[in-house]
């Protein structure tokens, strides 16, 4: 036996089961009080309510091939629901939930709009296409065995099953289902959504034991609240600032930036790499954070105004004490970049963030500020 085939078969089974879990997880978001989702109770996914007409049994299929008249997904599902151990009386609805599209010529396409009698006739018409040889073969194909088991079952019970049965096709695949669930939470920033989903998936798997696998509405809501409390965006947090060190190419690239020229004007060349690094790190943070948290840009703009106001006062004081233009300008620069940042709410911003903002302000002609002290 080929090892890779065994591995791939196991992986396919695992992914199919994970798809089933995500279907159930998505249904958890719509649970009402006293309702619950069960896995592997009477099939793939059961929504259990104290009202029969609100209870559903769902068989989930993640397949690419079209759903045709003779596809095993349909007939195997019917066979399972006709089994003596399956109590269809406990459910108001039976659902075949599949990513498949209907085949172009299938008679099943009108299933959901047909009466129970018409549905039965559809099954009879499909089954009638089987030849005598196929039906009497000593080794019939699996689909033939499934169809025989369904059509030879008690007609009354078959009618009760198909009366409740709906077929949902072209449902979300694994990727689309994951994206759908990621849109459910409110108040969770984008960068924490994967953690939120992983937390819920882990929670679902943890509820399984040797006798049952149930997710109650109360338990699920409590878990959602816990994860939301843990992962929601706090009042304000900064992206990481680590003191970015620019490359030689970046230093050369930004030599003509206005904020660099203003440092060159005071012949403080040794400070240029740090200045470029702080400026680049600030620009990167704005690009990364704007999509995730628009408040960051708004608060950054307001914070920069405070920094510029403080600088203008310090510059005025430096003018009053001016003795040696280049030396005093370098001291002004050093004092400014070494200043402790103002608080922003309950946080003290990183000093690299503060310095990136002063260099960004220096790069703006409209702000009309500079390092060189002039009377």
Retrieve residue 239's tokens. Answer: 């992206």
Q: What is the per-residue DSSP string for 63-119?
A: -SS-B-TT-HHHHHHHHHHHSTT--GGG-SEEEEEESPPBPTT-GGGGGGGS-HHHH
| Per-residue confidence (pLDDT) for residue 346, from 0 to 100 | 75
What is the pLDDT of the chain when averaged over all its residues? 92
| Per-residue confidence (pLDDT) for residue 1, from 0 to 100 | 39
| Per-residue confidence (pLDDT) for residue 234, from 0 to 100 | 62
Q: How far apart are CA 364 and CA 358, in angstroms?
A: 10
Contact predicate 107/72, CB 8 Å: no
User: What does the DSSP 8-state code read for residue 327?
Assistant: H
**Between 12 and 127, whose confidence is greater?**
127
Contact predicate 342/355, CB 8 Å: no
Angle of helix 72-82 relative to helix 155-164, nearest 10 degrees? 120
Question: Taking residues 41-50, what's their average pLDDT?
Answer: 95
Q: Is 315's pLDDT higher than 80?
A: yes
| Per-residue confidence (pLDDT) for residue 373, from 0 to 100 | 96
Q: How far apart are CA 112 and CA 63, in angstroms?
A: 20
Question: Taking residues 272-289, what's their average pLDDT?
Answer: 89
């Amino acid at each position: 036996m080929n090892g890779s085939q065994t591995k791939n078969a196991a992986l396919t089974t695992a992914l199919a089961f994970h798809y089933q879990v995500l279907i159930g997880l998505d249904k958890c978001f719509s649970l009402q009080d006293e309702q619950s989702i069960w896995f592997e109770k009477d099939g793939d996914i059961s929504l259990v309510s104290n009202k029969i007409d609100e209870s559903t049994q769902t068989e989930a299929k993640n397949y690419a091939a079209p759903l045709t008249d003779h596809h095993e997904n349909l007939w195997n599902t019917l066979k399972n629901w006709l089994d003596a151990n399956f109590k269809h009386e406990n459910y108001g609805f039976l659902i075949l939930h599949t990513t498949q599209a209907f085949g172009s010529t299938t008679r099943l396409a009108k299933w959901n709009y047909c009466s129970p009698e018409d549905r039965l006739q559809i099954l009879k018409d499909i089954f009638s296409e089987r030849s005598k040889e196929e039906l009497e073969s000593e080794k019939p194909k699996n689909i033939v065995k499934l169809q025989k088991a369904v059509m030879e079952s008690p007609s009354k019970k078959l009618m009760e099953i198909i009366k409740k049965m709906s077929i949902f096709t072209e449902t979300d695949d694994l990727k689309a289902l994951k994206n759908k669930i990621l849109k459910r939470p409110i108040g969770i920033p984008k960068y924490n959504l994967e953690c939120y989903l992983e937390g819920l998936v882990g929670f679902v798997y943890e509820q399984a034991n040797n006798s049952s696998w149930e997710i109650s509405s109360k338990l699920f809501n409590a878990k959602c609240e816990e994860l939301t409390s843990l992962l929601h965006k706090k009042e304000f947090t900064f992206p990481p600032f680590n003191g970015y060190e620019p490359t030689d190419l970046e230093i050369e690239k930004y030599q003509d930036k206005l904020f660099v020229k203003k440092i060159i004007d005071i012949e403080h060349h040794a400070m240029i790499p740090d200045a470029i690094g702080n400026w680049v790190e600030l620009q990167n943070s704005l690009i990364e954070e704007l999509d995730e948290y628009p408040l960051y840009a708004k608060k950054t703009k307001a914070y920069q105004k405070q920094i510029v106001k403080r600088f203008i006062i310090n510059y005025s004081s430096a003018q009053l004490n001016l003795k040696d233009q280049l030396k005093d300008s370098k001291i002004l620069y050093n004092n400014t970049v070494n200043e402790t940042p103002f608080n922003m709410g309950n946080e003290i911003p990183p000093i690299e963030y503060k310095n990136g903002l002063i260099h960004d302000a220096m790069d703006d002609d409209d702000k009309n500020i500079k390092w060189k002290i002039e009377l």
